[in-house]
Amino acid sequence: MQDILKSNFIKEIGDTAANMYRLGWNERNGGNISYMLTKEEVEPYCDINKTIRKLPLDIAFPELAGKYFLVTGTGKYFKNISIDPEKNLGLIRISDDGTFSHLLWGYSDGGTYTSEIHMHLGAHMQRLKTDPNQRVVIHAHPTNVVSMTHIFPWDEREFTRTLWQMCTECIVIFPEGVAVLPWMVSSNAKIGMASAEKFSDFRILVWALHGCTATGDSLDEAFGLLETVEKGAEIYMNIVGKGERHGIDDEMLKGVVEAFNIKVRDGWL
């Protein structure tokens, strides 16, 4: 059997986490990643029939029964994932009834998955209903997105429209807009399921005064989505309060929509 540490997916998640840490989006142990893998991807590197431990879930996810996820651990620093993957990551398989998971590899110090596991599994559950290719959920604390929620109304349409107006690529990268949840206590099942509802219609969700979560077909896609939303928020934070600004108006946005043949959320332009 091959060494799981030599797999592409371990390197991918380590490189992504290290990059996000360098950007300042995942300070200390802030943030988390889950990466859904297929049996065919996992089996060459891991004994899928050997359970190290059973890890409980506060909410059952029978829709995800039998699915495999590589998940960052609770209390773990993103900068350390590429240095010691076996301690900072865990490979799990959801049980047949969805009430717990089988730990197949990782969390070697006796740890467990991120405290935001319910948000991650809820997001995967919803995104799979919309697009079966969606397999990545990334949660981070991008500085400018969080800053923007301190001074901007928590209104999805207006938040999205303002980001679209910051730079041309925003409406191209997230034409369906950005979901926004009012502030809630994090790291529990309640915010996890409230988030899951949002992911039925959106690929990216802002938690007011906290952070941002993106989904995608790959780590690069989800990271790029976060990156673009953060760029829009950075431009906004750089220009807000500095007098008259030009901005990208609705007619300009409609021109971009037409040129790129994209569909935006009805009524948002």
- The 10s digit of each residue's pLDDT in 238-260 is 999 887 778 889 999 999 999 99
Q: Single out the residue of 111, 123, 103, 87 nearest to residue 204, CA to CA.
A: 123
Averaged pLDDT of the chain = 95
For the ranges 18-22, 100-104, 158-162, 248-252, which has the lowest average pLDDT?
248-252
What one-character DSSP code corresponds to residue 62? G
Kindly state the tokens that stand for 230. 């953060």
Active site residue 234: no
Reported in sequence order, the residue ranges of the chain that DSSP labels E, i.e. its strands, are: 32-37, 53-56, 68-72, 89-94, 100-106, 136-140, 179-181, 204-207, 211-216
Q: Which member of 43, 116, 234, 244 is catalytic? A: 116
Q: What is the pLDDT of residues 23-81, one digit of tens each?
A: 999 999 999 999 999 999 999 999 999 999 999 999 999 999 999 999 999 999 999 99
pLDDT at 202 (0 to 100): 97
Predicted TM-score (pTM) of the model is: 0.94
What amino acid is encoded at 104 in this protein? L
Radius of gyration of the chain (CA): 19
Alpha helices in the chain (DSSP H): 8-22, 39-42, 85-88, 117-130, 143-151, 156-164, 169-173, 189-198, 219-239, 250-260
pLDDT at 1 (0 to 100): 44
